[in-house]
């Protein structure tokens, strides 16, 4: 079977690496891919949001399955487009339709969904420009810090944690006034939860589900979790504080009610659900849902999956996940992300990358790179994800960090402390 993978980040590199190892995959196409994915398949320069161009490619290359990496094409309806086209409707898509992707696409929807199905999360209320006065009054009585969230997709920038009432009121006005465009037309005001975060993933066929290895993502740019938020600077899997007892509680109080809730709401969902969780006094709460895998969590999760990924996807497409036994390695994975100088602020692209061949114990997943005439150059903020799978977490962390240091490009930066706080 020929497979089309949509996306261009480190997450898609990890998917491509694993899919290409499957005997069930004849040829893999990645649209658009990056400077590294060409090693696992054929990059095709098509924007995943250009559905007509995707259709032409699917027909030309006789694609038998589409796997969607990022949220944007899902929220835009790529699955609906394929399912609704008479020439494509037989092709399975891994990733939900619009009605399921809204779990990520609208924070207001996801909060209502959790309230409806009794899923533990921070208390919240939503406001629009029509109810601004009520929102300002609500903030007067709200505990600090308070969390303000733009309802829609805001490229990871739509969440503000504010510890001053007047400032929160000012921000609410700005957000409802269009600071984040249409994404901020509704704002969720939410209770601040204090705890430690982790990411749990399932693949669901809308009926049953398979739980994938959990991971922890490091979001801040600076050592010791300081400075600005980024897309993610590293990850580890497994997560030491996610004990079996805690993960059982996650399944019982969060995963099952979510999958059952989708069914009750008549949302037919085939794809990943990413539970962004926070552990507060031993109990899990949902911070957010995503309709896709995490990045850079995937780069630590995928190396721990021993089962054939295409077989897993086929089981999801056939609604047979109930009988699927996922084989997971007991080993420990660590991922260190190498970023461009200046990221997450302004940064330069086009820097020549050297030293990838010197990496000893890790797999290098390309993220923001291009391959030009055999030369790898940087092409984004997060440039490479260096992933190591070892017997102990300490070895994994040490080797991924040491291998990140073996790579060079002008302005290169990475955190040397990923995961060591958990030791
Ligand atoms: P989100 O875009 O919803 O993932 O939010 C981004 C980040 O903001 C999360 O990963 C958390 O670190 C933080 N955050 C969001 N909501 C809350 C909350 N209710 N309490 C504490 N931190 C939060
Ligand atoms: N690493 C967090 C995310 O993918 O949203």
Closest CA to 400 of 377, 376, 417, 383: 417
Task: Report the atom number in ligand 2 closest to the C-alpha of 156.
Answer: 5
Output the CA 390–ligand 1 centroid distance in Å.
31
The pLDDT of residue 204 is 98
Task: Report the atom number in ligand 2 closest to the C-alpha of 294.
Answer: 4
How many angstroms separate the Cα of 409 from the Cα of each of 347, 351, 375, 398, 418? Answer: 13, 6, 12, 21, 20
At residue 78 the predicted structure's pLDDT band, cuts being 50, 70 and 90, is: very high
Q: Is the CB of 7 under 6 A from ligand 2?
A: no
Task: In whole angstroms, give the CA distance from residue 236 to residue 417.
Answer: 12
At residue 157 the predicted structure's pLDDT band, cuts being 50, 70 and 90, is: confident
Q: How many CB atoms lie within 10 A of CB 205?
A: 22
Q: Is the CB of 159 under 6 A from ligand 1?
A: yes
Q: Is the CB of 154 under 6 A from ligand 1?
A: no
The pLDDT of residue 314 is 98
Radius of gyration, alpha carbons of the chain? 21
Output the CA 149–ligand 2 centroid distance in Å.
16
Task: Report the atom number in ligand 2 closest to the C-alpha of 290.
Answer: 5
Assign residue 292 a region: left if phi > 0, alpha if psi is -120 to 50, beta otherwise?
A: beta
Output the CA 123–ligand 1 centroid distance in Å.
13
If DSSP states are collapsed to H, E and C, what string results for the chain?
A: CEEEEEECCHHHHHHHHHHCCCCCCCEEEEEECCCCHHHCCEECCCCCCCHHHHHHHHHHCCEEEEEECCHHHHHCCHHHHHHCCCCCCCCCEECCCHHHHHHHHCHHHHHHHHHHCCCCECCEEEEEHHHHHHHHHHHHHCCCCEEEEECCCCCCCCEEEECCHHHHHHHHHHHHCCCCHHHHCEEEEEECCCCEEEEEEEEECCCCEEECCCEEEEEEEECCCEEEEEEEEEEEECCCCCCHHHHHHHHHHHHHHHHHHHHHCCCCCCEEEEEEEEEECCEEEEEEEECCCCCCCHHHHHHHECCCHHHHHHHHHCCCHHHCCCCECCCEEEEEEEECCCCCCCCCCCCECECHHHCCCEEEEECCEEEECCEEEECCCEEEEEEEEECCHHHHHHHHHHHHHCCECCCCECCCCCCHHHC
Output the CA 231–ligand 2 centroid distance in Å.
6
CA diameter of the chain: 61
The pLDDT tens digits of the residues spanning 25-48 come to 999 999 999 999 999 999 999 999
Output the CA 188–ligand 1 centroid distance in Å.
12
Q: Is the CB of 190 under 6 A from ligand 1?
A: yes
Q: Is the CB of 193 under 6 A from ligand 1?
A: yes
The pLDDT of residue 318 is 97
Q: Is the CB of 186 under 6 A from ligand 2?
A: no
Q: Is the CB of 287 under 6 A from ligand 1?
A: yes
Backbone angles phi, psi at 381, to 5 degrees: -75, -50
Task: In whole angstroms, give the CA distance from residue 37 to residue 35.
Answer: 6
Task: Report the atom number in ligand 1 closest to the C-alpha of 288.
Answer: 3
Output the CA 331–ligand 1 centroid distance in Å.
29
Question: Which CATH number applies to 123-191: 3.20.20.70, 1.10.940.10, 3.30.1490.20, 3.40.50.720?
Answer: 3.30.1490.20
The pLDDT of residue 68 is 98
| Domain 123-191 in the same topology as domain 2-98 | no
**Which residue(s) pair with 332 in the sheet?**
390
Task: In whole angstroms, give the CA distance from residue 336 to residue 1.
Answer: 33
Q: Where are the domains of the chain?
A: 2-98, 123-191
Ligand nearest to the CA of 218: 2
Percent of the chain whose predicted confidence (pLDDT) is above 90: 98
The pLDDT of residue 421 is 94
**Which residue(s) pair with 124 in the sheet?**
190
Residue 148 pLDDT exceeds 80:
yes
Closest CA to 412 of 364, 377, 370, 373: 377
Output the CA 216–ligand 1 centroid distance in Å.
14
Domain with residues 2-98, CATH architecture: 3-Layer(aba) Sandwich (3.40)
The pLDDT of residue 147 is 97
Token readout for 129 is 């420009």
Output the CA 340–ligand 1 centroid distance in Å.
25
The arithmetic mean of pLDDT across residues 224-229, rounded, is 94
Ligand nearest to the CA of 180: 1
The pLDDT tens digits of the residues spanning 368-383 come to 999 999 999 999 999 9
Q: What is the pTM of this model?
A: 0.97
At residue 155 the predicted structure's pLDDT band, cuts being 50, 70 and 90, is: confident
Output the CA 286–ligand 1 centroid distance in Å.
9
The arithmetic mean of pLDDT across residues 133-151, rounded, is 97
Residue 156 pLDDT exceeds 90:
no
The pLDDT tens digits of the residues spanning 252-305 come to 999 999 999 999 999 999 999 999 999 999 999 999 999 999 999 999 999 999
Output the CA 252–ligand 2 centroid distance in Å.
23
- The protein residue with its alpha carbon nearest to ligand 2, atom 2, reads 294
Q: What is the overall mean pLDDT for the chain?
A: 97
For a mutational test of ligand 2's pocket, the pick from 103, 219, 297, i.e. the residue with the most ligand atoms closer than 8 A to its C-beta, is 297
Inter-residue contact 367 to 10 (CB < 8 Å):
yes
The pLDDT tens digits of the residues spanning 111-128 come to 999 999 999 999 999 999
The pLDDT of residue 241 is 96
């Amino acid at each position: 079977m020929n497979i089309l993978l949509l996306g261009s980040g480190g997450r898609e590199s990890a998917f491509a690496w694993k899919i290409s190892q499957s005997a069930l995959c004849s040829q893999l196409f990645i649209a658009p891919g990056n400077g590294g994915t060409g090693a696992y398949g054929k990059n095709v320069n098509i924007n995943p949001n250009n559905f007509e161009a995707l259709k032409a490619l699917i027909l030309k290359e006789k694609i038998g399955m589409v796997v969607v990496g990022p949220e944007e094409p899902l929220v835009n309806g790529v699955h609906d487009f394929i399912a609704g086209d008479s020439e494509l409707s037989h092709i399975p898509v891994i990733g939900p339709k619009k009605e399921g992707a809204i779990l990520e696409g609208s924070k207001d929807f996801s909060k209502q969904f959790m309230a409806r199905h009794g899923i533990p999360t921070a208390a919240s209320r939503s406001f629009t420009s029509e109810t601004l006065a009520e929102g300002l009054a609500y903030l007067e009585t709200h505990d600090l810090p308070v969390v303000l969230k733009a309802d829609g997709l805001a490229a990871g920038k739509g969440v503000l944690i504010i510890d001053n009432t007047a400032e929160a009121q000012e921000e609410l006005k700005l957000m409802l006034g269009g600071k984040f465009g249409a994404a901020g037309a509704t704002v969720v005001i939410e209770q601040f939860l204090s705890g430690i975060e982790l990411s749990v993933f399932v693949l669901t066929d809308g009926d049953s589900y398979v739980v994938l290895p959990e991971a922890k993502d490091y979001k801040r740019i600076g050592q010791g979790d300081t400075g600005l938020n980024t897309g993610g600077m590293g990850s580890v899997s497994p997560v030491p504080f996610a004990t079996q007892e805690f993960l059982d509680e996650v399944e019982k109080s969060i995963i099952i009610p979510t999958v059952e809730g989708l069914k009750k709401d008549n949302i037919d969902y085939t794809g990943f659900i990413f539970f962004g969780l926070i552990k507060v006094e031993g109990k899990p709460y949902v911070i957010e849902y995503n309709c896709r895998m995490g990045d850079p969590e995937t780069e630590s999760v995928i190396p721990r999956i021993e089962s054939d990924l295409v077989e897993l996807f086929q089981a999801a497409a056939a609604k047979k996940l109930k009988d699927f036994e996922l084989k997971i390695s007991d080993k420990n994975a660590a991922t260190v992300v190498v970023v461009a100088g200046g990221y997450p602020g302004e940064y330069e692209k086009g820097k020549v990358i050297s030293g990838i061949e010197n990496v000893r114990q890790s797999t290098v997943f390309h993220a923001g790179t291009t391959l030009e005439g055999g030369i790898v150059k940087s092409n984004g903020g997060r440039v490479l994800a260096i992933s190591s799978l070892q017997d102990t977490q300490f070895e994994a962390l040490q080797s991924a960090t040491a291998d990140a240091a073996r790579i060079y490009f002008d302005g290169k930066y990475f955190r040397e402390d990923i995961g060591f706080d958990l030791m």
